[in-house]
Amino acid sequence: MKRIHALLAVQSALAILVSINRLGNWTLGYVLPNEFLRWVDFNNMVVLPPISLAALYLLKKTIEYDSSARESRKHIAWNLVFILGIYFTAASYGNHEVTNYLHVRFCFDDAISDLCSIIIFNDDDFSHWLFFTGFVMVNVAILFLQDVFPYRESLSRLDVGLILLNSLFLGAGVFANLGFEEIGLDLYVVAMLAIVAAFLLLKHGRQPMFIYYTSAYSLGLAGSLTAQLFR
C-alpha cells in the first residue's frame, strides 16, 4: 500500500502541475527562437504525460502480484488494453498540442480556409477522440486488473483516508477542466468511468483502485455538473 499511495500522490502532484501549466502566463513563451511550440504545449506533450503514464505503469505492476492469474486470459487481455490505451493517449497528445498551438496562433479568426479547417478539426475533434479512447482504455484496464488481482489484506482507515485524499486532487482536476466549458463527450466519459468504478466497488468490495476512481470521478462529475448549472 505504501507504493500505491506514493504513485497516487504522483498523480495528485501532476494534477496540480497540469493546472499550473495550463493557466499560468509564464508557459506562453516560445521554447526556441523558431517558435515551433510554446512551453505550455511542450510541457503537455513531452514532460507531464510521460511522468503520468510511467506512474500508471508502475501502479499496474504494483497491483499485479505473483499468482496463477498472471497466466489467465483476462490478465493478458487487460494488459493489451492498457498498452493500446497508452498508444492512443500518446498519439492524442502529439496531435493535440501541435494543432492547438497552430489553431490559437494562426487560425483563431479563420475557420474557413482549407488549412485552418484541417488544423481546427485535429485540435477540437480528432485529437479529443484519440485522447478519450486512450483515457478510457488505460483507466478501465487499471480497474479490471485490480479485479483480477484483488488486494489480499484488509485496508486500514489510514489507507482509505490516503486514497480518498489523493482522489480529491484527481477530482479537482476533472472539475477544473470540465466545470467551466460546454458539456461535451468528456463529461460522458467521466460519468461512464464513475459508474464502472462504483459497480466494481459495490460488487467486489473495498479495493484500492475501486475506492480511488469511484471517489475521484464522482466528485469531479458532481462538481462539474454543479458548476454547469450556475454558468
- For 193-222, write each residue's pLDDT tens digit: 999 999 999 999 999 999 999 999 999 888
Q: Is the pLDDT of residue 223 over 70?
A: yes
Number of domains in the chain: 1
- pLDDT of res. 100: 96
Cα-to-chain-centroid distance, residue 180: 18
Residue 47: domain span: 2-229
The answer to whether 144 and 75 are in contact (CB under 8 A) is no
HSE-CB of 173 using CA atoms within 13 angstroms: 22
pLDDT digits over 61-113, tens only? 999 988 888 889 999 999 999 999 999 999 999 999 999 999 999 999 888 89
- pLDDT of res. 134: 97
Q: And the C-alpha cell for 108?
A: 483563431
Mean pLDDT value across residues 35-59:
96
Whether pTM > 0.85 for this model: the answer is yes
**Assign residue 35 a region: left if phi > 0, alpha if psi is -120 to 50, beta otherwise?**
left
